[in-house]
Amino acid sequence: MDIKWLVLDVDGVLTNGHLIYTSHGEEIKEFHVKDGLGLTAARSCGIKLAIITARVSPMVERRATELHFDALQMGEGNKTNALRTLCEQEQIDLSQVAYMGDDLNDLGSLQLAGLAIAPANAAAEVKSVADYVTTAEGGAGAVREAVEYILKEQNMWSQVVETYKQEAHMQGQ
């Protein structure tokens, strides 16, 4: 396995998929902090991050900025074409892409990617094409679990753990 990019759907992957609206019509999304730490670990190991989502959301843009995503494609009705375009623009081989999605509109991208990942609560059709299905549900640490799986397969996870151990040791002095 030689994953260089992790491409994620948002609703049902980075979030639990619930759409919450305030009385003023504002949308609310909830992100899991463990997913954020996992994505930071992936970046520290040289894996680039991208989001491809059908919806347009300022909260997604903010989260992508906070976590230093390399690419953000919102409003993409055809995620398969969006993934192809991203790979062409960034000169990425599809075999080096891990794609994580949860529903039928992710099927094309999952089938193109070198590593297809689905959260535990993904649609049955998605799980059937996934190379790896997390035990965690979308929005509840599934992305962190996926990152950990990738980094362990690429013999990088122990490096991540050691970095955090060293930080703890340095702070204790």
Distance, in Å, from the CA atom of 143 to the CA atom of 124, rounded to the nearest integer, reads 18
Residue 164 pLDDT level (bands cut at 50, 70, 90): confident
Q: How many CA atoms lie within 13 A of 53 on its CB side?
A: 22
| Contact between residue 147 and residue 41 where contact means Cβ atoms under 8 Å apart | yes
Q: Are 99 and 129 in contact (CB under 8 A)?
A: no
Using the 8-state DSSP alphabet, how is residue 154 labeled? T
CA distance 41 to 38: 5
pLDDT of residue 139 exceeding 80, the answer is yes
User: Could you tell me the pTM of the whole model?
Assistant: 0.93
Full domain range(s) for residue 158: 5-172
The confidence score (pLDDT) of residue 44 equals 95
Nearest-angstrom CA–CA distance, 41 and 31: 17
The torsion defined by the Cα of 38, 40, 46 and 47, in degrees rounded to 10, comes to 50
How many Å apart are CA 117 and CA 171, to the nearest integer?
Answer: 36
What is residue 173's predicted lDDT score, i.e. its pLDDT?
A: 54
How many domains, in total, are found in the chain? 1
Flag whether pLDDT at 171 surpasses 80.
no
CATH of residue 92's domain is 3.40.50.1000
Strand residue runs (E) in 53-119: 71-73, 97-100, 115-118
Amino acid identity, position 16? N
In sequence order, the 6+-apart residues with CB closer than 8 A to the CB of 145 are 38, 134, 135, 136
